[in-house]
Structure 1
Amino acid sequence: MSIPRFLDIEYCQTDDVLFPTAIAWSLADGQMKSVVIAPDDAWLPEDGDLGDIDLLYLEEQGVPVLELVRELHEDLPDQTVYVDGMDPDEILVDLIFSAVQQDAPFEIAPIADLISGLDSDTIEDQRRQLMFDEGLEPQLPENGVYALLLLAREAGCLDDL
C-alpha cells in the first residue's frame, strides 16, 4: 500500500493579492519536500504592498515556479493529494501551474475524504491539537504536512509511519 500524499501551502494574502510563498508535500515513502517559492511577477501588486511578507527573501531564497512545477510533476503524477481544507489550496495550486501554462498533475481532496467517520471540524480540532502537542509552528508548510501524516496514521490510513 502506498502512503497517501499530503500538501500544504503558505501564502501571502492582502486586499489586492493572493499568491503562494512556500509549499510542502509528502512522497510515497512518507518523506517530505518543502520549498520557498519565488513569486511570479504577475502575482505581485503594482503598489508593492505585501503586508508582512519579505519579498527580497522570497526572491533570493525561493525556487522559480517552473522548477517547482517540474518537481511536482515528478513527485505527484496522477495522485490524489490531501490538504487540511482550511486554506485556499486549490486556488494556490492553480496559480502555480497557470504561471507556466500547465495543469496540475494531481487532484486535491480534503483530508476528510481520507479519514472516514469524522467530520471536518473534528479532524481540524485533532490536527490543531497534534500541532500543539508536537510543538509545530503552524505557519511552516512542512509542519502542516507532518500533522496530516500523523492524523492519517492515527486514523489507520498508513502502514508503517
Structure 2
Amino acid sequence: MPLPRFMDIEYCQTDDALFPTAIAWSLADGRMKTVVIAPDESWLPDGEELPDVDLFYLEEQGVPLIELAHELHQDLPDQTVYVDGLDPDEILVDKIFDAVGMDAPFEVAPVTDLLPQLDSDDIEERRRAILFEHGLEPQLPENGVYALLMLAREAHLTDR
C-alpha cells in the first residue's frame, strides 16, 4: 500500500486577511518538505498590523509562490493529501494556486477519511498526544505532518 500523503499549513488570520505563512507535506517515502511562504501582495490588508507575523521575514526568507506551486505539482500530482481538518486547509491551498493562476494537482481530504475507524475527537486527542510525547510545537507545520505520519503508522497504514 502506498504511503498516504499529508500536509499542514500555518497561516495568518485577522478580520481582513487569511493567508498561508508556512507549509509542510510528506512524500511517498515518508520524508517531509517544509517551506516558509512569501505572501502575495493581494493577501495583505492595507495598513493593518498582523499579529504574530513577521512580514519582513516572510518576504525575505519565504519561497515565491510560483516555485512553491511547481514543487507541489512535482511532489503531489494526482494525489489525495490528508490534513488534520482543524484549519481552513482547502481555502489556503486554493489561495496559493489562485495567486499563480494554476490548479492544485492534488485533492485535499480530512484525515478522518483515511482513518474512518476513529472519530475526529479521537484523532485530535492522539495527534496532540504524539506532539506532546515528542516535545513538538503544534504550530509548526512539519510537526503537524509528523503527527499525521505517526497516526498512519499506528493504524498500520505504513511500516515506516
Q: TM-score, normalised by structure 2?
A: 0.98
Partner of 2:57: 57
1:34-56 CA distances to partner (integer Å, 9 max, x unpaired)? 00000000101111421120000
CA distance in 2, matches of 1:140, 1:64: 19
Q: Secondary structure in 2 aligned to 1:6? A: strand
Q: Residues 6-45 of structure 1: CA distance to partner in whole angstroms, max 9, x if unpaired? A: 0000001111100000000000000000000000001011
Q: Distance in 2 between matches of 1:53 and 1:14?
A: 11
Cα distance, 1:154 vs structure 2? 0.2
The letter of the residue matching 2:115 is I
Q: Please name the residue that 1:40 is paired with.
A: 40
Aligned partner of 1:94 in structure 2 is 94
Q: Which residue of 2 aligns with 1:112?
A: 112
- 2:133 maps to which residue? 133
Q: Is the 8 A contact 1:6 1:81 kept in 2?
A: yes
Give the letter aligned to residue 144 of structure 1: G
Q: Distance in 1 between matches of 2:155 and 2:34?
A: 24
Report the TM-score, using the length of structure 1 for normalisation: 0.97
Name the amino acid aligned to 1:43.
Answer: W
What's the % identity of the aligned pairs?
73
Q: How far apart are 1:107 and its partner, in Å?
A: 0.3
- 1:70: how far off? 0.2
CA RMSD, aligned part only? 0.7
**Other-structure match for 1:153:** 153
The runs of 4+ residues in structure 1 deviating greater than 2 Å are none
Q: Which runs of 5+ in 1 are unaligned?
A: none
Q: Per the alignment, in what secondary structure is the counterpart of residue 12 of structure 2?
A: strand
2:17 counterpart letter in structure 1:
V
Distance 1:47 1:69 in 2: 28
Partner of 1:144: 144
What runs of 5+ residues in structure 2 fail to find an aligned partner?
A: none
Separation of aligned partners in 2, 1:41 and 1:85: 27
Please state how far the C-alpha of 1:116 moved relative to its aligned partner. 2.2
Distance in 2 (alpha carbons) for counterparts of 1:98 and 1:50: 22
- State the SS of the aligned residue for 1:94: helix
40-49 or 17-26: which moved more? 40-49
Instruction: Please name the residue that 1:21 is paired with.
Output: 21
Whole-angstrom CA distance in 1 between matches of 2:87 and 2:52: 18
